[in-house]
Amino acid sequence: MVLDSAYNRRGGGGGGGNYPSGNDHPLLKLLVPNYAAGALLGKGGAMLTELKNSYGANIRLSGGNDYYPGTEERIVVITGEIDHVVDVNNLIMDKLHDPGRDNTMKNIEIDNDRASKVKIVLTDGAAGLLIGRGGINIKSIQEESKARISVAMPDRATVIGERVVTVSGNIDERTEACRQIVLKIAEEPSNMANGKTRYNSNSNNGDPYSQGGYDSNGMLPPFNTRQSNSSKPMSTYRGNSMASSQSYQSSKLLARVQVEVEIPNVFVGGVLGKQGSIVKEFVQRSGGAKFSFSEQTDDTDFRTLTITGDMDQTQMAYSLVNDRVDQLRRDHSAIQH
């Protein structure tokens, strides 16, 4: 089965819409200090369930040792109706300043500078939507809210395909800025799919879909129920029978898929990354898809990228590449103007 670049023209993969996350609700992904995570969790995770009952949004929190790469901050994922997401974010901003002075929190030292900032994790696609052409969207939000908003550049990203947005200002400024940001990005497809709370591959058996952490539904830890096949050789699945004794758990037929995508020559380096660093990251994030570029020729303006793997791997890989090229196009356009 071969899919070519016409897949994009049919509407597939736009903004990362083919992430196999299963989430179809508005989503906000935040970074918070440990003490704020503790205030949200409560004893035995009881506070998360209470917050869901009070606010109507689902809240997931990374485990105690699962920090966002390059930071010492925990990951919070909020999903639900946009108004509910905004309300929970407002609560979290309050917790940054005052986590509650019970016996576990009475000796906590608050970093007031950090408490006056909101850190949001966006996919490249959602960050581009937030920024807008020529920066028009982010400028408008800053002018209306009076908050300061900074978006990490792609070359500063600690996770390929994601960018951290920092919102600074007083509580009213941050509240209004975050409200507008949520309205802008919460329903962007790749953002809704970006629910991962665990980034340490050593703690999730190498499965990039593994979720981990704490959930307001009371599952500790919750895991994506998709059966991962990325560690098994493709030949294992050839023939008329399933190779695993656990195959009865899923009725999903396994297939080998090949996707061919035309990448403009000017963006090939940006997709590969320095010494192939970006493609290596894509291999990991897709669960083991393989990437291969055709040789460069003088008579074409593009090179063919061939992606192979199972259905989930190739869909994820295609979306990662599509988002990356979209971001490179936006950056290239901004430089030209």
Q: Report which residue type is found at 161.
A: G
291: left (phi over 0), alpha (psi -120 to 50) or beta: beta
pLDDT in tens, the chain (337 residues): 333 333 232 233 333 333 334 467 899 999 999 888 888 887 767 788 888 888 889 999 988 778 999 899 999 999 999 999 999 999 999 999 888 755 556 667 788 899 999 999 999 999 999 999 889 999 999 999 999 999 988 777 888 889 999 999 999 999 999 999 999 999 999 999 998 888 864 443 333 334 456 766 654 443 333 333 333 333 333 333 333 333 334 445 667 888 899 999 999 999 999 888 898 888 888 878 899 999 888 788 899 999 998 877 888 888 889 888 988 888 877 776 5
For residue 221, whether the previous peptide bond is cis, meaning omega lies within 30 degrees of 0, is yes
Distance of CA 40 to the CA centre of its chain: 21
Q: Helical H runs in 250-310?
A: 265-272, 277-285
pLDDT of residue 101: 54
- Element containing residue 79 per DSSP (H, E): strand 74-79
Q: Which domains does the chain have, with CATH numbers?
A: 2-14+229-336 (3.30.1370.10), 23-215 (3.30.310.210)
Q: d(Cα 73, Cα 76) in Å, to the nearest integer?
A: 10
Residue with tokens 């020559």: 265
pTM: 0.59
Which tokens is 213 given?
């952490």
